[in-house]
Amino acid sequence: MSSVVLITGASSGIGNLTARALATAGHTVHASMRDPGGRNAAHARELLDFARRDGLDLRNST
């Protein structure tokens, strides 16, 4: 069974790894981070590229 999950602090570290792991396991993941359009823009883009490349349901949430 898949779930919808909200991960905060997904720009790096354990938040990023958790978002990737849960999306890979088939869950819908809303990955939240501070300033995804500014200082964390590269992190947000990389996370979305990872999701697109692998066909995962991982979304950036502000």
- Spatial distance between the Cα atoms of 17 and 58, rounded to a whole number of angstroms: 12
Residue 60's pLDDT is what?
87
- Spatial distance between the Cα atoms of 43 and 21, rounded to a whole number of angstroms: 16
Tell me what percent of the chain is helix, strand and coil, each rounded to the nearest 5: 40, 20, 35
Residue 37's pLDDT is what?
92
**Tens-level pLDDT at each residue, the chain (62 residues):** 889 999 999 999 999 999 999 999 999 999 999 999 999 999 999 999 999 999 999 998 76
Residue 46's pLDDT is what?
96
Residue 62's pLDDT is what?
64
**Which residues lie closer than 8 Å to 47 by C-beta, 6 or more apart?**
10, 16, 19, 20, 31, 58, 60
